[in-house]
Amino acid sequence: MKHLATGALIATSTVLAPFMASAQTEIQFWHAFTGRLGELVAAQVEEFNASQDEYVVVASHKGNYSETLNAGIAAFRAGEQPEILMVFEVGTATMMSAEGAVRPVAEVMAASGAEFDADAYIGAVKGYYTSSDGEMLSLPFNSSTPVLWVNRDLLEGAGIDPDTDLSTWQNVDAVLDQLAEAGVDCPMTTAWQSWIHLENLSAYHDVPFATKDNGFAGVDTELAFNGPAQVAHISAMGEWAQEGKFIYAGRRNEGGANFRAGECALFTESSAGYAGIKEEAQFAFDVRPLPYWDGVGNSPQNTIIGGASLWVMEGHEAADYEGVAEFLAFLSSTPVQAKWHQDTGYLPITSAAADATREAGFYEENPGTDVAVIQMTTNEPTANSKGLRLGSFDQIRGIIDEELEAVWTGDKDAQAALDSAVERGNQLLRRFEQANR
């Protein structure tokens, strides 16, 4: 009898469940995170869902960054788009130009009356996703910036003071010589070569990567990264590559495996590499600011971000947007942001979250985790260091990768390679301009 009662109860609740769910507004959120990051996103969503009973956010993983963007585009064309889509920073221009497909975050927040203060967000982070007239278009979600990772043990083994000053490339050059002489197989490697050694290099030295304020002022922008500052840097890296002081491992973050295994002394990589390096490294490591060329441009200006932001898509009910606004406000709230920043190594998106983290003593316990924050926020961003807004940029990065590979093998000199990358990239920019006229 008891069993029967339980059975009936289960049956009733299963039947009723869908009706109860439909009382809540469902919000689709498509993202690109797996592994530990995926778990952290799921935890955020769960916390939000538990905190109120009007809305249910449903998070779905849609592949890597490119695949998630494509899934969003394909879904929009089929009229099945999610309310919230995660788009990586290089897709920003594509999303911005899609008037009628996306709704600016500032507009969503204003319409809903949810708590929103655009000034609470850190300028260098927010700037990347803000229109030229100051409207915040998407919500920065995960942002990082490149830093220099140092294997202290390898430096010490080569007879170099592990605390030696590595703030400029001039100093790094001398250290690379010493490392090579001491027989270190991999003095330096890098991840994301275009992002770190051209995009960030340009911003850090306050020289343009592209005309029209790096594309912020219009789609009729042209690439300009074949200037003297960039050519000098790539040429130096080319020489290091020829002399075996810079080991090229691949276009993405393949070099990370070499560094974490303790083979490479120096490694330029995103600040978000923190979790992985801390977990795997069997050696003493340091986080240092990204080096700059002393005396070139206005260095050190500030570096720019990489990562992704959340875009709100058009074509949903007004009630859905209320829920979206609630969720975005929840993500921006200080405790949620501070926890995200500390768990992942991504930059905090609000100054309040950075302050809360500092007050909690996190930076003292985890030395180096604030390097990225300082590097991003010391100087007010200029037109050259606010970010990049270029169409077809994922593909332009592919072209840059190809041309840089020609420099590393010695097939081309830096000037010829960068000239060619600029010329080929400009053709894609013109097509993008035409498509979005």
Partner 1 sequence: MEKRVTFKGWLLPLCLIAPQVVISAIFFFYPAGQAIWQSLFIPDPFGLSMQYVGLGNFEFLLSDPYYRASFLTTAIFSTLVTLVSMVPALFLAVVADRLIKGAGTYRTLLIWPYAVAPAIAGVLWLFMFNTRVGVVSWYLGNLGYDWNHVLNDTEAMGLVVVASAWGRISYNFLFFFAALQAVPKSVIEAAAIDGARFWRRFWTIVLPLLSPTTFFLLVVNIVYAFFETFGVIHTITSGGPQQATTILVYKVFSDGFVGQDLGSSAAQSVILLVVVGALTVFQFKFIERRVHY
User: Which spans of this chain sit near partner 1 (rule: CB under 8 A)?
Assistant: 66, 70, 73, 76-77, 94, 97-101, 248-251, 254, 257-258, 261, 263, 392, 394-395, 398, 401-403, 405-406, 408-409, 411, 424, 427-428, 431-432, 434-437
What's the closest the beta carbon of residue 420 comes to partner 1, in angstroms?
10
Nearer to partner 1, 65 or 346 (CB): 65
Q: What is the rounded distance in angstroms from the CA atom of residue 386 to the CA atom of residue 390?
A: 13
Nearer to partner 1, 135 or 402 (CB): 402
Q: Calculate the alpha carbon distances from 177 to 172, 185, 225, 285 in Å.
A: 9, 12, 27, 20
Nearer of residues 185 and 364 to partner 1, judged by Cβ: 185
| Residue with Cβ nearer partner 1 (138 or 271) | 138
Cα–Cα dist 314/99, whole Å: 9
What ranges in 92-133 are assigned the alpha helix state H?
92-97, 105-112, 123-126
CB of 422 to partner 1, least distance (A): 14
What is the DSSP secondary-structure string of 338-372?
Answer: HHHHHHH-PPPSBHHHHHHHHHTTHHHHSTTTTHH
Task: Tell me if 152 sits within 8 A of 286, measured CB to CB.
Answer: yes
What is the Cα–Cα distance from 180 to 142, expressed in whole angstroms?
36
Of 41 and 390, which has the nearer Cβ to partner 1? 390
Q: Which is nearer to partner 1, 112 or 226 (CB)?
A: 226
> Using CA atoms, how far apart are residues 379 and 205, in angstroms rounded to an integer?
12
Q: How far is the CB of 191 from partner 1 (least distance, A)?
A: 13
Q: How far is the CB of 370 from partner 1 (least distance, A)?
A: 31
- In the complex, the smallest distance separating the C-beta of residue 28 from partner 1, rounded to whole angstroms, is 17
CB of 3 to partner 1, least distance (A): 47
Nearest partner of 136 among 158, 113, 117, 157, judged by Cα: 117
Q: Looking at beta carbons only, is 52 or 242 nearer to partner 1? A: 242
Give 18 or 183: the residue with its C-beta nearer to partner 1: 183
99, β-bridge pairs: 102
In the complex, minimum distance from the CB of residue 264 to partner 1, in angstroms, rounded to a whole number: 11
Alpha-helical (H) ranges within 56-168 are 65-77, 92-97, 105-112, 123-126, 152-157
Return the CA Rg of the chain: 23
- 40 burial via Cβ count (<10 Å: 0-12, 13-18, 19+): middle
Distance between the two ends of the chain, CA-based, in angstroms? 72
Minimum distance from residue 89 beta carbon to partner 1 (Å): 15
